[in-house]
Structure 1
Amino acid sequence: MADDAPFYAQDAGRNLARKFEMQAYDLRAHLKKFIQETGEEAISDGFGFLTESDELRTAYIEYSTDAADAMNRVHQYLDAVADALRKVNLNTETTDEDVAVLFGGNRNGGKR
């Protein structure tokens, strides 16, 4: 291994965190659209407020709410994974710099 070779592929860690962050962002955009198209107001407009359609309308609203909640939990999970990966990357960079100093390097990645 060369003297200046990193122990951790920092760009790979950053890229992976970015990918999770983008997936979370995309899912959030889809979730907003889903809520607009299938929320209580949209469903009620589609079924109307006839007594005969009340049970079916209620079932659709419950399903829509459950689906939106599930999508929101996935969004939060993806966002949390991105945050964790950023923290791992930062901690690893700091540790690599500290180890480099122990072996005669400086904090900028070069030799003293």
Structure 2
Amino acid sequence: MSGDFSLDPQELAKLAGAFATRAYDLASAVREFQGRTGAEQIHDGFGFLTESEEVTSAYVELAAGMVESLGNLARHFDEVSQALKDNAKNSEASDEALAGLFKGGKT
């Protein structure tokens, strides 16, 4: 029946785990990126250019914006993971409660 809907709590838990892994990986990559693109590292790289202050400022601003945006994305992935985990637990509890009702009605 095409109108039926089913939810597998174990599959939701696996999906939550995948989001948690991606959140961790992205947060780690952001920390590494931030360490390599801090203001000091950028200043060192552009310090000898004629217009180094303009270039340096632009790169520092760009790097800071990327760190903030990607950090927000990693946190969002983590929030999605937690929501999926909660949903999986709730779905499993609901399934068990329904199974208990059916079992209770047959005895």
Query: Shared topology, TM-score over 0.5?
Result: yes
Deviation track 1:15-52 (CA, whole Å, cap 9, x = no partner) reads 10000000001101110111011111110111228783
Counterpart AA for 1:26: D
Task: Structure 2: give runs of 5+ residues left out of the alignment.
Answer: 1-5
1:102 partner SS: helix
Q: Which residue of 2 aligns with 1:26?
A: 25
Q: Which residue of 2 aligns with 1:97?
A: 96
Q: Which residue of 1 aligns with 2:63?
A: 64
% same residue = 38
Counterpart AA for 1:35: Q
Q: Which has the higher contact order (CA 8 A, sep 6+)?
A: 2
Kindly tell me the number of residue pairs found equivalent between the two proteins: 101
Deviation track 1:26-85 (CA, whole Å, cap 9, x = no partner) reads 101110111011111110111228783111101110000011111011101111110000
Task: Structure 1: give runs of 5+ residues left out of the alignment.
Answer: 1-6, 106-110
Task: Judge which range, 49-58 or 71-80, deviates more.
Answer: 49-58
